[in-house]
Structures are given as structure tokens and as C-alpha cells.
Amino acid sequence: MPIMLVVTTENIPGKNYEVLGEVFGLTTQSKNIFRNIGAGLKNIVGGEIRDYTKMLEESREVAINRLRENAAKLGADAVVMMRFDSGSIGQDMQSVAAYGTAVRFIS
């Protein structure tokens, strides 16, 4: 089975579809002690905190995969208008949500 199409646009060129409803995928990641130590050092000297960047990239990927799973449960062929939202929960956790509109292609 091909990976479900997820786009940030409202329309998919050449496709007509019916709207099935809103779908989302969520994940919350915690920082480990090694990331916290590295972040503390970078905070002093400046620069990119690569471990945090990697954590956020992984979080987005998990959130999109969960979005696809939830859309598939609705019988969707694709998700349009996908967006991300993220935020901190306390000092040690980061939450990422991917959300959009599940659609089914029609002839």
C-alpha cells in the first residue's frame, strides 16, 4: 500500500475529493539527561543544539505517521491543509501535533 499523500495546500491538482473530517497525530517527547547537559553547554557558548533539532524532527515524523493512521481509519485517500503545532510541557517535554483535513477521492 502506498504512503498516504499529505499536503499543506487546500487543493491537490487533478483530484476531486469529498471531505471526511479533521484528523490529527500527536506525540510528546522528553529530553534525556545527556541532551539537557549538551543544551546547557550550548546555552553558554551559543549555536544549534543538534540533539534537540533531531528530537523535533523525529517528533514531527511520528506525528505525521499518526495523522496518516487516523486518516486511514476514516477511509481517507489523502490529507489536505496539514499543519504543525508544537509546545513545551514543563522544562523537559516537547509536544508536537500534526493536523489537517482527511479527504476521499471521487471520480
Asked if pLDDT for residue 99 goes beyond 80, the answer is: yes
Residue count of the chain, please give it: 107
Residue 32 sits in a domain whose CATH number is: 3.30.110.70
Q: What is the pLDDT of residues 22-77, one digit of tens each?
A: 999 999 988 665 555 555 555 566 677 777 788 889 999 999 999 999 999 999 99
How many structural domains compose the chain? 1
Q: What is the pLDDT of residue 33?
A: 55
Render 62-96 in DSSP notation, one character per residue: HHHHHHHHHHHHTT-SEEEEEEEEEEEETTTEEEE
φ, ψ for residue 10, nearest 5 deg: -80, -30
Find where cell 557558548 sits: 45
Highest mean pLDDT among 5-19, 53-67, 83-97: 5-19
CA nearest neighbour of 100 among 14, 17, 13: 17
Domain membership of residue 102 as a residue range: 5-106
Taking the model in full, what pTM does it have? Answer: 0.81
Q: What is the pLDDT of residue 38?
A: 53
